[in-house]
Amino acid sequence: MAMGKVLKVFGVLAVVLAFSLYSPPPSGIAEPVRLSMFNALARAVRFTGVFLEYLGLSEQYLVQRYAIETSSKFMKGYQREVPHIKITDTKFDGVPVRIYEPRERDSEKLPALVFIHGGGWVTFTVDSYDEATSDIANMLGQVVLISVDYGLAPANTFPGPLDECYRATKWLLDHAGEYGVDANRVGIAGDSAGGNLAASVVLQMKFNQVTPKLKAQVLVYPILQPLDFSLPSYQQNKYAFDGIITTHIVPYYWLLYAIGEAPKNLTDAMLEGQVLKEVKESSYKHLAKHIHHAYLPEKVKIRGFIPKKEVKTVIEEVPNSLLRIFLHPYFSPLLADDLSGLPRTHIITAEFDVLRDDGILYAKRLKSAGVDVTLNNVKDGFHGMLNFGFEKLGFYISQKLRKDLAEGIKKSL
């Protein structure tokens, strides 16, 4: 049976299951009725992927990619027109990029923003982000936006995606004049896994002493560490928008990015705290100090938090090769020892997102390192809200986030 037919059959079953397992959205989250409908559909995709993987017919991430590509094509009809923006696909040092620039320029050289899309390093592409990036580019006005189409895991594991994002950014800085860009006014931004890559590019550029330096970094609900899944945000938001992201699915993406596969014993070892425990007992224990609920403000614990005390041993020992990847500062920016000297940083988190506390902890560490940093925790926000700003059927919170993002970027550059 062709993949399309298989997905349709299991998709119908999964939709029924998703709705049958309906749970009300948490109080205070934005547009709960509409979000529940989107969440049920996203759940259906996830359940379909789980079923097909169990039957040996496909992989979870392949089903997700297929669903995202299909829905992106469908939603093209609901995308805003951006007649004042010129869009060009090209390559920077061999890396595919999409350039969004104003058709009419106010000056010969404009500031620029390198944007790195999310999707767990595995699912989304420049095409599936085009609605969001073209809309943001339109809001930015006299700013050139470059969206990086890095190769996806599991075929392209760490440091592959990072290397591509670094090369594309470095190419822009080195050849800015060719694209009508002021090299001294270039920033970088990313959401979710893209926020991880953006933060890592900044760290690598600092280490390599790249000049001119990036002017700013903007991280939207970034994923920054693969060790502690018992932080308050992981406990509170386990089922907040579980069609898109759950506590239990995050290790799956981390492992696909790290080693190209996600064996259940390793995902369980991450979730049960065994990986964190072994780090604390190793010569790298000083890195674990950067991740602890004690560093979080008490107000983020109000919705419920129970410190994890018991650690279940799932496997005999976590492979050293995996620990070395997990502890690399370009893989886990929150674990980097030295964050001083980084550019002005704006971090946006979402209250109803399992990744919220990663961003809060990173902002605290940056501030302690003397970095000019601002943190905005969107009180009714959820993971992925940047992608729901369609002209029709879109969420108001997505449009507000995009506008705030554009205004902040323009001021920073």
Catalytic residues: 192, 353, 383
DSSP assignments along 62-118, one per residue: HHHHHHHHHHHHHHGGGSPP-TTEEEEEEEETTEEEEEEEESS-SSSSEEEEEEE--
3-state helix, strand, coil in the chain (%, to 5): 45, 15, 40
First to last CA, the chain: 52
Give the DSSP per-residue string, 306-362.
Answer: ---------SS---HHHHHHHT-TTT-GGG-S--TTPPEEEEEEEEE-TTHHHHHHH
Residues 25 and 43: their CA atoms lie apart, in Å, by 13
CA 88, 91, 92, 96 torsion-angle sign:
positive
Q: CA Rg, the chain, in Å?
A: 21
Contact present, 87 and 118 (Cβ < 8 Å) = no
The residue behind tokens 């060790």 is 227
DSSP strand pairing (144-148 vs 216-220): unpaired
